[in-house]
Amino acid sequence: MLVTMIPPLQSALSGLYAATTKLRANADNIANLSSEGFQRTRVLQASTTAGGVRSVTEKVTTPGHVQYEETNNGSELIELSNVELATEIPDVNLNATMFKASLKAIETTDEMLGSLLRIKA
């Protein structure tokens, strides 16, 4: 595969995938902000030996806020989502910036390869 022969491109693509994974987790968390008992998704990242990024997705099991709600059986204690919008919105901005940086790295690699091919031609 050509990508494995071009390390900067491989690193940029893994960064793009990692940023996409984090943005998907943010979207899922925000969409389920009001879902009873929903557990927030967190994405952990680690560098790989090839110079890229590996993403691992996990659920955060800390309990959400609880509140009383009126049901057919009277008042019941309901656990809400453990998602904090004040955390998710800045994360979305940061992850979008990571995505843009990875795209810029791909664009720069493409320009470098184009220059190299013009020189060789």
Question: In 3D, which of 13, 11, 55, 65 has the Cα closest to residue 41?
Answer: 55
Q: What is the pLDDT of residues 55-97, one digit of tens each?
A: 999 999 999 888 888 888 888 888 999 999 999 999 999 999 9
3-state secondary structure 16-81: HHHHHHHHHHHHHHHHCCCCCCCCCEEEEEEECCCCCEEEEEEECCCCCCEEEEEECCEEEEEECC
Is 30 part of any domain? yes
Q: Which residues contact 106 (CB under 8 A, 6 or more apart)?
A: 9, 12, 13, 16
State the total domains in the chain. Answer: 1
Is 94 part of any domain? yes
Is 6 part of any domain? no
Is 18 part of any domain? yes
Is 24 part of any domain? yes
Q: What is the pTM of this model?
A: 0.82
Domain span at residue 85? Answer: 12-120
Q: What is the pLDDT of residues 41-62, one digit of tens each?
A: 999 999 888 788 899 999 999 9
Is 1 part of any domain? no
Is 28 part of any domain? yes
